Amino acid sequence: MLKNRYALITGASRGIGRECAILFAKNGANLLLVARDQDALVSLKNELKEFSVDIFVCDLSDEDNIKSLFIEIKKITKIIDIVVNNAGIIESSMFGMTKSDTLKNMFATNLYAPYQLTQYATRMMRKSSYASIIFISSMMATKGGIGHSAYASSKSALLGMMKSLAKELAPTIRVNAIAPGVVKTDMIETLSEDEKKDYASQSLFKRLATPDEIASVILFLASDMSKYITAELINVDGGIC
């Protein structure tokens, strides 16, 4: 489905990003994988050794790092076809107890980084015939969550960016987002067992999502199967109301 297309995936070393990388590789994509954890990236590259994989260790919260990243990517390819803005952080705290630094860090990683990364990426996507950008938002963006005002705000802002970008970049580049529910990844370790059970019980499937169930929807949005879809948010949350 993605044969010979260059796909840039951030937060690729773990969870949804990792699963997405594996699925994209099996579907023929040339992978450009970005994450902070070098060991995990190397391990993933080794796991995918029969596929086309380039890895980049990068902290995306610094714009200079993002620029350096694209200088390196340009040594490999002049065109990027797919961008999956997956890297993100989550930290829980009640509204009245959320520190200014927590809010800033959350927005630096969850909004500023994908914003700036996409600014650079779009300049390399304009000549692609299959250009697709996917933002990984969250069900919290539209539904909110107790103790998640900072995270929900940052993921909600991402949706505003997605909608605007879709209008600016049409018809050349499609821009969409998905809003996963609670997914079984390292990221939910900040949640208590009671919270996990509560979220699982809210799903109409009475369980949490697995990373591959999210990755398959990302693949759909990256591929030509969704070529008439742009400016869209797809909820992948098991029907949580």
Contact 10, 87 (CB under 8 A): yes
Q: d(Cα 194, Cα 172) in Å, to the nearest integer?
A: 45
Q: d(Cα 16, Cα 150) in Å, to the nearest integer?
A: 21
Judged by CB, which is closer to another protein: 47, or 54? 54
Judged by CB, which is closer to another protein: 67, or 104? 67
Catalytic residues: 151
Residue 130 binds another protein, judged by CB under 8 A: no
Judged by CB, which is closer to another protein: 168, or 198? 168
Residue 167 binds another protein, judged by CB under 8 A: no
Q: d(Cα 191, Cα 197) in Å, to the nearest integer?
A: 10
- β-partners of residue 156 are none
Q: Are strands 53-57 and 82-85 parallel, antiparallel or unpaired?
A: unpaired
- Tell me the closest approach of the beta carbon of residue 170 to another protein, in angstroms: 10
- Map the footprint of another protein across residues 34-63, applying CB under 8 A: none
Judged by CB, which is closer to another protein: 84, or 124? 124
Q: Which of residues 10, 85, 122, 223 is near another protein by CB under 8 A?
A: 122
Q: Which of residues 124, 133, 179, 182 is near another protein by CB under 8 A?
A: 124
Judged by CB, which is closer to another protein: 34, or 209? 34
- Tell me the closest approach of the beta carbon of residue 72 to another protein, in angstroms: 10
- Tell me the closest approach of the beta carbon of residue 116 to another protein, in angstroms: 8
Residue 128 binds another protein, judged by CB under 8 A: no
Q: Which amino acid is at 49?
A: K
Residue 76 binds another protein, judged by CB under 8 A: no
Question: 159-168 long-range CB contacts below 8 Å, 24 or more apart?
Answer: 159/135, 159/233, 161/111, 161/114, 161/115, 161/135, 162/135, 162/137, 162/231, 162/233, 163/231, 165/118, 165/133, 166/230, 166/231, 167/231
Q: d(Cα 226, Cα 238) in Å, to the nearest integer?
A: 21
Q: d(Cα 183, Cα 154) in Å, to the nearest integer?
A: 18
Q: Which of residues 107, 120, 135, 199 is near another protein by CB under 8 A?
A: 120
Q: How many residues bind another protein (CB under 8 A)?
A: 13
Q: Which of residues 26, 99, 104, 126 is near another protein by CB under 8 A?
A: 126
Residues 6+ apart with CB under 8 A from 163: 231
Q: Which of residues 42, 71, 76, 204 is near another protein by CB under 8 A?
A: 71
State the residues that interact with another protein by CB under 8 A. Answer: 67, 70-71, 74, 78, 119-120, 122-124, 126-127, 168
